[in-house]
Amino acid sequence: MSEPLLQVKQLNKAFGALQATRDVSLDLYPGEIHALIGPNGAGKSTLISQITGNLPPDSGEILLQGEDITGLTVAERAQRGLGRSFQISSLADELSVRRNVMIAVQAIQGSSFRFWKPVSSDASLLEPVATILERLGLSDRAGTLVAELSHGERRLVEMACALALQPRALLLDEPMAGMGSEGTARMVKLLSELKHEVPILLIEHDMDAVFQLADRVSVLVSGGVLAQGTADEIRNHPAVREAYLGE
């Protein structure tokens, strides 16, 4: 097997007396979707925030392509290729789809003076942004205000913002939440294509989508890893079926 692109080692995070993540370790390999599942409050979003740098871990290490990024800022991690979409919408409603994606690129380029480089001009971004919007089936919405989009379209624009940064690894926190069956099917198809270009750590509640998409699965319960394995191993894991799938 190739080297893992992203390695998470023994991450811990407590909020007061609550241990939100407990010695969580996982790897993300090129070409795969690694699903992170578990009941509400299991610590899934906390783990993603520790990986992106939004929450400092109490202990543990995060390596991206072998480099220890645990001490880096959110912007420095993003510049090294850690991409994420958010569970809560982070788009500017009053701006167009195209403008939102451009801002995402420019923000990350200009967000750290230690790695300062000139922020790309609007003109130089038009073509790459158009390519991404086409990829996501949003070309005819490029000039539309985000406020006028459906929920599913908004989620796709959030994906476009993440992809515009050309991430090496993508962290997705419930990208299908609130989508209808059509939107979910569209997202499943997109992610199954995307994983060949950029591996994905995917938090998802929809178990049909998880087992359609995931190569490997980690099950988080009460902050700790209950089980980890291939999708088939997890589907047939007795403790997982009991503790999580409700059987």
41 binds, among ligand ADP, Mg ion, none (CB under 5 to 8 A by kind): ligand ADP
**Least CB distance to ligand ADP at residue 179 (A):** 18
Query: What single-letter amino acid sits at 211?
Result: F
141 binds, among ligand ADP, Mg ion, none (CB under 5 to 8 A by kind): none
Q: Which of 69, 36, 32 is nearest to 53 (CA)?
A: 69
Helix (H) or strand (E) holding 75: helix 74-79
**Least CB distance to ligand ADP at residue 92 (A):** 24
Selected range binding Mg ion among 43-51, 75-83, 184-192, 218-226, rule: CB under 5 A: 43-51
Helix (H) or strand (E) holding 151: helix 151-164
Closer of 153 and 174 to ligand ADP (Cβ): 174
**Least CB distance to Mg ion at residue 203 (A):** 6
Q: What's the rounded Cα separation, in Å, for the pair 13 and 24?
A: 10
| CA-based end-to-end distance of the chain | 34
Query: What single-letter amino acid sits at 120?
Result: S
Closer of 101 and 217 to ligand ADP (Cβ): 217
Closer of 177 and 231 to ligand ADP (Cβ): 177
Tokens of 143: 């000039």
Q: What's the rounded Cα separation, in Å, for the pair 223 and 21?
A: 4
Judged by DSSP in three states, 225 sits in strand
CB 134 within 8 A of CB 140: no
Interaction between residue 21 and Mg ion (CB under 5 A): no
Interaction between residue 52 and Mg ion (CB under 5 A): no
129 binds, among Mg ion, ligand ADP, none (CB under 5 to 8 A by kind): none
**Least CB distance to ligand ADP at residue 174 (A):** 8
For residue 144, report the phi and psi dihedrals to the nearest 5 degrees. Answer: -80, 140
CB 200 within 8 A of CB 194: yes
Query: What single-letter amino acid sits at 28?
Result: L
157 binds, among Mg ion, ligand ADP, none (CB under 5 to 8 A by kind): none
**Least CB distance to Mg ion at residue 246 (A):** 19
Beta bridge partners, 13, equal 21
Count of residues of this chain found to bind Mg ion when the rule CB under 5 A is applied:
2
Interaction between residue 49 and Mg ion (CB under 5 A): no
**Least CB distance to ligand ADP at residue 58 (A):** 13
Residue from 4, 11, 24, 45 in contact with Mg ion (CB under 5 A): 45
Tokens of 60: 């543990």
Selected range binding Mg ion among 39-47, 59-67, 142-150, 231-239, rule: CB under 5 A: 39-47
Q: What's the rounded Cα separation, in Å, for the pair 146 and 142?
A: 9
Residues of this chain that interact with ligand ADP (CB under 6 A) are 15, 18, 20, 38, 40-46
Residues near Mg ion (CB under 5 A)? 44-45
